[in-house]
Structure 1
C-alpha cells in the first residue's frame, strides 16, 4: 500500500495517515473507545517512520478525534461533528424568537449562540455584486458574525444585504436583531421564498482560520447562499465558512 499512496498523493505521509484515520473515525469504522491501528500496522500500510506516525496521531489529538493511553495505544474519541440541514433554517423565527439552528442544537443538548463581529458598508466580492446586479465599486451592507456550539466557534457568517433594502432599518445598526435580518425583510414585505446554495471545500483564509480557531490544517465548507423573495428579487447573500471537523451538511431530495 505504501507504493500506492506514494503514486496517488503528493501529501506528506503524516497527512495521509491522519486523513485515513480521520475518515474512519467520522464514518464510524473506528467507534468511540476503539483502539486505532497500531504503529506496526500503519507502517505496513504507509511505509512511515515512527515519528511520522506520531505526528499524524498528534494531528488527530489536536482535532479532538483521538487520545493516547500510555502503554496501551491510541483510541478513537467521540467526535463532535454535527449534521446541519440548511434547508430547514431558511425562514426567520415567526415570533422573533430563537433561530431554528439554535433551537435544533438545544434539542440535542448543546448550547448555541452567535457573536456579532461588525456591521458596515463595503464593496462586496464579485460573486455578491453579480447576485445583486451591482455595478463596479457599488457598496452593500455587510453583517459579520461567528456561530458557536458548546462555546466552540463553528461557523463564520458574512451576510450581505442590498443597501436600498437595509437603509432606515435595524439592519444598519451595529447590534443583534431579534429574529435576524430575515424578520426585518419579511416585515417589509420581502419574505424568503427561494434559496440557492453552492457548497465547496476550501482551505480557510487566515481570517476564517483565526475566527474558527482551526486546530490543524483542515478545510472549511464554504456555503454561498443567495436568498430570493417576491418576483425573484435577491434580498440577501451569505458566505458561510463552516469548520470542516465540526460540520457535515444534509440535504433531503
Structure 2
C-alpha cells in the first residue's frame, strides 16, 4: 500500500498516463511547445519518479507523437499537427488569387527554405510521366519546409523545360500563385491532379540530408514519413510531377470529397 503522505509510486504506464493527461489538458508547463522537465528533475521533484520509469514513460509518449526530442536540448511537447487539406489546397481559386498552396492549410503554414532550382536528369518514372526521353533534362525545384525551427517536409517538383524556359518558374521565387499560376499564364492551367500516398520508414538520407542538403532531422532511423507523389495535368498532358516526403508525426492528411464520387 502507498504511504498516503508520500508521493505516489508510479510505473511507466501510470506516469505515461499522467503526462498524457497533462499534455491533452494543456496543464501549465505542458502546453504545446513547452520543454519538459529532465529525468533528473522528475526524480528530484515531489513526484519522485525513478529515472528509468520517467524515461520509459517519455519514450512511450514520443512514440505516440505527443513528445519530440531535440538533440542537445531535451524533450518538448509537440505542437499541433499541420493539416494538409485536399483537394481544396490545389483548387485554382487558391493559387489563381495569388495565394500559396500551403496557405490554404493553416494560418501559420510551413515556410520553404533552401530552395534550389536547376536542370537535372529525373528519375525514370518522372521522365515517363512528363513524356520526356530517358536521359533528357527537366527543371527541378527542390524545397525544404520548416515550421518554426523544425524541418517537416522535403519536396522536389519536376517540369519539362519547354514550359519553364524564360519564365519565373526558373527563379527561386515563382511569384504570386506559384508554379501553377505561371503555367496558367501559358494556357496550361492544371485541370486535374493525382496523388499517391504511402507511409514508410524514412531513409538515412532523408533524416540526415545528402549532397550538402539538410534532412528532416528525425529522432531516429525507422521514423515514419508520408511519401506523396503528385501529378498535375493540363488536359491530358502531365505538366508537373512533385515528389514529397513529410514527417508523419508533424502532419495530418485531410481529404474532403462528395459521396457521388465527383470533385468537391
Give the TM-score taking structure 2 as reference length: 0.65
Matched, 1:237 2:230: no
Residue of structure 2 equivalent to 1:102: 103
Larger deviation, residues 207-216 vs 186-195: 207-216
Residue of structure 1 equivalent to 2:95: 93
| CA distance in 2 between partners of 1:196 and 1:169 (Å) | 25
| CA distance in 2 between partners of 1:134 and 1:100 (Å) | 27
Q: Name the CA shift for 1:128/1:59 in 2 (closer, same or farther; >3 Å).
A: farther
Structure with the largest fraction of helix: 1
Residue of structure 2 equivalent to 1:11: none
Compare CA radii of gyration and give the structure with the larger one.
2
Q: Give ranges in structure 1 of 5+ residues lacking alignment.
A: 1-16, 36-49, 68-75
Matched, 1:156 2:161: no
Please say if residues 141 and 156 of structure 2, whose CA atoms lie closer than 8 Å, have aligned partners that are also in contact: yes
Matched, 1:176 2:173: yes
CA offsets, 1:118-147, max 9 Å, x none?
111111112202211222212111000122
Matched, 1:228 2:237: no
DSSP 3-state at the match of 2:119: strand
Alignment of 1:33-48 (within 5 A): none
Alpha-carbon offset, residue 182 of structure 1: 0.8
DSSP 3-state at the match of 2:126: helix
Alignment of 1:1-253 (within 5 A): 31-32=24-25, 54=55, 57-58=58-59, 60-61=61-62, 65-66=66-67, 77=77, 79-90=79-90, 91=92, 93-96=95-98, 98-106=99-107, 110=108, 112-173=110-171, 175-178=172-175, 179-210=177-208, 211-217=215-221, 218-230=223-235, 232-253=236-257
| CA distance in 1 between partners of 2:237 and 2:200 (Å) | 29
Q: Give ranges in structure 2 of 5+ residues lacking alignment.
A: 1-11, 31-50, 69-75, 209-214, 258-264
Please say if residues 113 and 149 of structure 1, whose CA atoms lie closer than 8 Å, have aligned partners that are also in contact: yes
| CA distance in 1 between partners of 2:53 and 2:118 (Å) | 46
CA offsets, 1:178-219, max 9 Å, x none?
121111101110011000110001222333223222123411
Aligned residue pairs total 202
Give the TM-score taking structure 1 as reference length: 0.68
Residue of structure 1 equivalent to 2:46: none
